[in-house]
Chains A and B, each alone.
Chain A
Amino acid sequence: MTQPLITQPIPWLDGPFWPFLALLLFAVLPTEIWRWLAVAFSRRLDANSPALEWVRAVATALLAGIVAKLIVAPPGALAAVPLALRVGALAVTLGIMLFDRRRVMLAVLAGEAALIGGAYWLLTP
């Protein structure tokens, strides 16, 4: 099967090593640069400063935001499961964590069981 939609290599850089080069240029570099910048910045910041508290709050919110985005607009096979079930599985996990914060494993397994069990019940005729 041909895939006409796929992003084509940059012609003058194309070759057998193109996938490796693309990974370095367009995935590794734009990711790693923030970690490097953080090393440069963090030397001048005090661990208990309000600035760092703010930075941590933003990072926590960003992560919660990614969770919401993955649930609302999921990739791949997860999209085959109805939104209500995806939200429900998340609610099961959150409910257990609210009940007892140390039960990470139980919360993850229960959320997964709800999702997979629900998917089987809804998707298999």
Chain B
Amino acid sequence: MRILLVEDDQTLSDSIAKALRSENFAVDVARNGEDGVHLGDTETYDAAVLDLGLPKVDGISVLTAWRKANRTMPVLILTARDGWSQKVEGFKAGADDYMTKPFRIEELVIRLRALVRRAAGHAAPQISCGTLNFDAQLGTFEKDGLPLKLTALEWRVLQCLIMRKDVTIERSNLVERVYEGDADVDSNSIEVIIARLRRKIGHDMIATERGRGYRLVSSP
């Protein structure tokens, strides 16, 4: 699960990024509107957190530019301007949720998870695949009713697979949704992560579609 955070305040963006990473999210940070437009337009994200008061290009224009370029990822507006008129303006520009500063990071995390889940077409927060269960609200996996311990990369890959269970996900897509923009991606790393996941949830749960990608199988 990869998030784009567009926030000009260094302290705040650092602590948001840190908090989101501790919840297993991959986070790219843009410090101004221009970078925000560019990143959102060229990279793949599961969701974006967008401040409205940005240098260079303001938040509403960033959002409008994304939507114009058919970038459909859910966008959560995070702003210190808490007026309802701004909220309406944000939603009209294509926002999906809105939070005002100061806020609780837990709430931001919950809302981001909900946005990503809804965007993938899941109405309920519980997503099951065979004996594997994902609580999309808490962000926790259970296998056979027992909590599953995963590293951040493993969590991201598995989350990505379970969101579109029984659908083959291209390897490149997986790479895009798992690694942060500035990460050094080893060409084998996804395979390594898949191998570790198979050991934890059962080899048959993840099918390899040669030359294409991977698929989480609900009835192996």
| A and B: bona fide binding partners | no
Question: Interface on A for B, CB 8 Å cutoff?
Answer: none
